[in-house]
Amino acid sequence: MTLRIGLIGLGVVGAETARTLASHAAMIEARAGQAVRVTEVSARDRSKDRGIDLAGYVWRDDPLALAASPDVDLVVELIGGAEGMALEAAKTALAGGKHFVTANKAMIAHHGARLATMAEANNVSLAFEAAVAGGIPVLKALKEGLAGNRIDRVYGILNGTCNFILTEMFETGRAFDDVLAEAQALGYAEADPTFDIDGIDAAQKLAILAALAFGGAPDFAAVETSGIRNVTDLDIAFAKELGYRIRLLGVAVRSDMGIEQRVSACMAPANAALARIDGVTNAVMIEGVPVGHSLLVGPGAGGGATASAVVADIVDIASGRGGRGFGAAAASLGGFKTTPATARTGAYYVRLMVIDRPGVIAEVAGIFGRHGVSIESMLQHGRQPEEPVPVVLTTHETTEATMQAVATDLAAVAAAIAPPILMRIESL
């Protein structure tokens, strides 16, 4: 008996998936309980050299023809995009009674619940381990290994590009734009890096993690999202002085008020496990009852890491362990009650650039006092009258609404030369 695979997309991940299934065929068959073989493929350019022999595959110019092929049992989609051909291929495959495996975080974040409903209605599996943190089996951990736990918080480093940039800025003192250019030269960042550095990639992954952790449908629109574009070498230096490391973190938290989901540049205590994750590595911390804390660390992207997760999903399906994509019946995947932004609490790092004049510090401190925000520490470097100097404050816990009001008043300080920079200080 053979599980016949149709593979849509032969880029870095697609080619590596085909190679892995071929080179590890005997091992995979032993683990899956049946042979697993790619029989049909589809990609944009048939003539491109991908380092694999295409002679044994049926070539389909039209991905939808592959998704509908009667000679395919499972479709793997590796072309990406929330809409368009990827989504149509998913719907075609599932409606036709074919299992579906994808690494497409955008599509699952936006349409995951709908696709899960289609899979369940047609008695097939929807699997997407590769959509989050590549080589880290974090979705499987949530669905299976931690299935007996109430998950209260899941958070982590979900974008290797941003983590590389922040690591290099910390270690070398270089400016953001300089390190971004290096990341692009090394292939870690795209020519248009918006998707990574503005937090969108991490937010899509967080929406999927939150869905599995808390038992709902992915809700990308509910993820409060910002990135690292405004992080400067000055902030990196102050973080170091204060005993923190800046990290782009995705955080999803359960509270009595609902589920909070956010992606932003944060101050992480320098001795925290996530603060010590450097380079392009990803890491996810899961807090649950009764397990406590579980940290998963590994490669978050790349052909090998992502193909590893894709093949793992294929093996699960071939062996009859495919199950439900979100670990629960599709009918139970309702929307989350969202924690109101005004009610979210935390401590903050605040940096304000001001002209060094008598009375400025008193005015700044007075704004915090009027809003009832307790200051934990204050730093001022530079003593050149009438020259711009940074003033940095850290606060005790307060509400986000209060800090936004503080930020508005700080921006109106006559000596301020730019709006203040705010970052949450995460308790990790």
pLDDT in tens, 115-127: 999 999 999 999 9
Longest dimension (CA), the chain: 82
**Where do the H-state alpha helices sit in 160-199?**
160-172, 176-185, 194-197
CATH level 3 topology of 138-299: Dihydrodipicolinate Reductase; domain 2 (3.30.360)
Q: Collect all residues with Cβ–Cβ distance below 8 Å to 22 and sequence separation of at least 6.
A: 38, 52
Mean pLDDT of the chain: 92
The model's pTM:
0.93
Q: Which of 110-114, 242-246, 339-343, 415-419 has the lowest mean pLDDT?
A: 339-343
Tokens 């509908």 appear where? 68
Residue 151 amino acid letter: I
Residue 385 amino acid letter: P
- HSE of 66, CA atoms in CB hemisphere, 13 A: 30
Tokens 């205590």 appear where? 269
Distance in angstroms (rounded) separating the CA atoms of residues 24 and 21: 6
Sign of CA dihedral 227, 229, 230, 232: positive
The answer, yes or no, to whether residue 170 has pLDDT greater than 90, is: yes
Distance in angstroms (rounded) separating the CA atoms of residues 171 and 279: 11
Residue 45 binned pLDDT confidence (cut-offs 50, 70, 90): confident
The answer, yes or no, to whether residue 301 has pLDDT greater than 80, is: no
Tokens 């619940």 appear where? 113
Measured CA angle at 116 (ends 110, 119), to 5 deg:
135
Distance in angstroms (rounded) separating the CA atoms of residues 252 and 213: 9
Distance in angstroms (rounded) separating the CA atoms of residues 391 and 404: 18
Share of the chain above pLDDT 90, in %: 78
Could you check whether the bond before residue 290 is cis, i.e. omega within 30 degrees of 0?
A: yes
Boundaries of every domain in the chain: 2-135+322-331, 138-299, 344-425
Element containing residue 53 per DSSP (H, E): none
What is the set of active-site residues? Answer: 205
Q: Which of 240-249, 273-282, 296-305, 366-375 has the lowest mean pLDDT?
A: 296-305
Tokens 């995705």 appear where? 250
Structure tokens at 316: 């699960």
Closest CA to 336 of 210, 420, 165: 210
Structure tokens at 370: 């009027």
Inter-CA distances, 1 with 32, 33, 35, 41, 318, Å: 11, 9, 6, 20, 10
How many other CB atoms sit within 10 Å of the CB of residue 122?
17
Closest CA to 308 of 102, 79, 134: 134
Distance in angstroms (rounded) separating the CA atoms of residues 362 and 358: 9
Q: How many residues does the chain have?
A: 428
- HSE of 36, CA atoms in CB hemisphere, 13 A: 32
The answer, yes or no, to whether residue 356 has pLDDT greater than 90, is: no
Closest CA to 168 of 189, 187, 183: 183
Residue 203 amino acid letter: A
At 378, phi and psi to the nearest 5? Answer: -140, 135
Distance in angstroms (rounded) separating the CA atoms of residues 415 and 418: 9
Q: Pick one of 3.40.50.720, 3.30.70.580, 3.40.50.11540, 3.90.180.10 as the CATH number of 2-135+322-331.
A: 3.40.50.720
| Sheet strands (E) in 290-358 | 292-299, 345-355
Residue 388 binned pLDDT confidence (cut-offs 50, 70, 90): confident
- The predicted structure's pLDDT at residue 382: 66
CB 420 within 8 A of CB 373: no
Distance in angstroms (rounded) separating the CA atoms of residues 414 and 411: 8
- The predicted structure's pLDDT at residue 54: 84
CA–centroid distance for 123 within its chain: 29
The answer, yes or no, to whether residue 178 has pLDDT greater than 80, is: yes
Q: Which of 12-16, 300-304, 324-328 has the lowest mean pLDDT?
A: 300-304
CATH 3.30.70.260 fits 344-425, yes or no: yes
Residue 22 binned pLDDT confidence (cut-offs 50, 70, 90): very high
